[in-house]
């Protein structure tokens, strides 16, 4: 049975993986009376996509304003038939940077690779979701896995949902103007006037964009890591932090803080996967514990520090999320909420993960180390070509 946490007039509900997330999302869509905004990186044409699409169409049929924002790369495989169906049902669909071509990357390369990686939803400005869960089947297609991928989201009911609504409405306006090719002073003013949500210190929507909030998510992490006194637990699907972030973790470990990293154990994107392995020796030598998740794919982007601060969101700790993509994390300062997430992560570590290191297993051969070093160099080369060479 799930726990609900009351924080300054807001009710927070931690949802683990799609098995908890999608039924609740569709129930809230069905309960909406006025407006629905959804942002997602991936909207897949599978059973989960059908369930959400049907719920959105039911809402539009009863007069609810439904607005769906899709990333042009992540959702590029969504069939035109589905889009026509949504459009016929009066579900408004917009695309964030749909123009993707290898022939255009040399010109405006930063802009072309900037993605909308946020996963958020809000209904009637009263109920909202923030997390890392795409609209796609919980168990990857073409796999022999039986366990769902590990991911988290937060359902928020209360005043914070209204602030999330304002944030999503703003991005919708920006993308709508861009899609109409009105890119003059009006679009620049919309972006420049974007304000950070006025959430409280206990619940903060932390955004990452390429205008005023370039380093906000990274800075939030660094502040709590540098202040940590007892324990840091980070679960992150694609973990390739820059030097400053790694140094903060190493210094925390050296001052006696227990640092635990729960990382991807299965190869999904091999270059990024093995590039992370190139960091293992440095982290292990500093006393940082590394665990690799085995039961399925890890897609979580969460952390808990000192059992009092926690974050759930869309941002990986890698150059692409921290330097290029639009991301959204919810940071929560609340002991009970943090403890629920911490207990979930510790259970996953104990049951479904393997600890990395010579005495624990998963020792790396010379060939694996060579592959890791080669992969890391390739990622650094790509980031260097984009003009971010000093970031990792």
Q: What is d(CA 98, CA 96) in angstroms, rounded to the nearest whole number?
A: 6
Helical spans, DSSP H, in 7-46: 17-31
Q: Is residue 188 within a helix (H) or strand (E), and if so which, with residue range?
A: helix 185-192
Q: Of residues 5, 28, 71, 119, which has the active-site annotation?
A: 119
**CB 139: neighbour CB atoms within 10 A?**
18
Q: Is 351 in the active site?
A: no
How big is the chain, counted in residues?
392
Name which of 36, 330, 326, 329 is nearest 171 in CA terms.
326
Q: Of residues 126, 277, 301, 334, which has the active-site annotation?
A: 301
Query: In this structure, are residues 133 and 17 in contact, taking their beta carbons and an 8 Å threshold?
Result: yes
Q: Is 165 in the active site?
A: no
Q: Of residues 54, 124, 202, 336, which has the active-site annotation?
A: 124
Q: Is 299 in the active site?
A: yes
Q: Of residues 28, 71, 117, 138, which has the active-site annotation?
A: 117
Q: Of residues 151, 299, 334, 352, which has the active-site annotation?
A: 299
Name which of 187, 154, 153 is nearest 170 in CA terms.
187
Instruction: Report how far apart, in Å, the C-alpha atoms of 8 and of each of 86, 156, 209, 312, 336 are.
Output: 38, 12, 27, 19, 14
Neighbouring-strand partners of residue 66 = 36
Q: Of residues 138, 151, 216, 306, which has the active-site annotation?
A: 306
Instruction: Report how far apart, in Å, the C-alpha atoms of 182 and of each of 47, 108, 116, 176, 337 are.
Output: 37, 18, 20, 9, 43
The tokens for 255 are 């001052």
Q: Is 117 in the active site?
A: yes
Q: What is d(CA 315, CA 308) in angstroms, rounded to the nearest whole number?
A: 20
Query: In this structure, are residues 116 and 209 in contact, taking their beta carbons and an 8 Å threshold?
Result: no
Q: Is 185 in the active site?
A: no
Strands 35-40, 65-71: pairing is parallel
Q: What is d(CA 274, CA 340) in angstroms, rounded to the nearest whole number?
A: 31
Q: Is 188 in the active site?
A: no
In sequence order, the 6+-apart residues with CB closer than 8 A to the CB of 267 are 273, 274
Annotated catalytic residues are 117, 119, 124, 299, 301, 306
């Amino acid at each position: 049975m799930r726990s609900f946490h009351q924080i300054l007039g807001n009710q927070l509900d931690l949802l683990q993986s799609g098995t908890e997330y999608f039924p609740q999302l569709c129930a809230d869509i069905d309960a909406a009376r006025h407006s629905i905004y959804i942002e997602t990186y991936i909207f897949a044409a599978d059973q989960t996509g059908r369930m959400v699409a049907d719920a959105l169409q039911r809402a539009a049929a009863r007069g609810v304003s439904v607005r769906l924002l899709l990333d042009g790369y992540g959702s590029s495989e969504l069939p035109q038939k589905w889009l026509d169906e949504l459009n016929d049902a009066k579900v408004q669909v917009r695309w964030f940077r749909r123009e993707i071509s290898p022939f255009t990357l040399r010109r405006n390369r930063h802009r072309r690779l900037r993605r909308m990686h946020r996963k958020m939803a809000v209904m009637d400005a009263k109920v909202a979701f923030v997390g890392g869960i795409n609209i796609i089947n919980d168990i990857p297609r073409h796999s022999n896995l039986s366990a769902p991928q590990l991911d988290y989201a937060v359902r928020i009911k209360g005043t914070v949902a209204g602030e999330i609504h304002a944030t999503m409405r703003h991005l919708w306006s920006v993308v709508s103007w861009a899609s109409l090719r009105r890119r003059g002073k009006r679009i620049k003013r919309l972006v420049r006037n974007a304000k950070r949500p006025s959430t409280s210190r206990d619940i903060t929507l932390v955004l990452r964009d390429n205008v005023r909030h370039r380093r906000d998510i990274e800075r939030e992490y660094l502040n709590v890591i540098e202040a940590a006194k007892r324990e840091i637990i980070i679960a992150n699907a694609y973990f390739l932090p820059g030097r400053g972030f790694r140094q903060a973790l190493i210094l925390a470990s050296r001052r006696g803080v227990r640092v635990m990293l729960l990382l991807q154990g299965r190869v999904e994107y091999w270059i990024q996967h093995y590039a992370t392995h190139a960091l293992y020796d440095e982290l292990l030598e500093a006393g940082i514990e590394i665990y690799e998740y085995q039961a399925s794919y890890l897609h979580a982007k969460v952390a808990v520090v000192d059992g009092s601060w926690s974050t759930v969101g869309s941002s990986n700790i890698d150059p692409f999320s921290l330097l290029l993509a639009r991301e959204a994390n919810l940071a929560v300062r609340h002991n009970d909420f943090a403890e629920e997430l911490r207990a979930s992560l510790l259970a996953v570590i104990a049951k479904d993960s393997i600890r990395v290191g010579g005495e624990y297993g998963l020792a790396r051969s010379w060939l694996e180390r060579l592959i890791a070093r080669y992969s890391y160099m390739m990622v650094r080369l790509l980031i260097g070509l984009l003009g971010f060479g000093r970031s990792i």
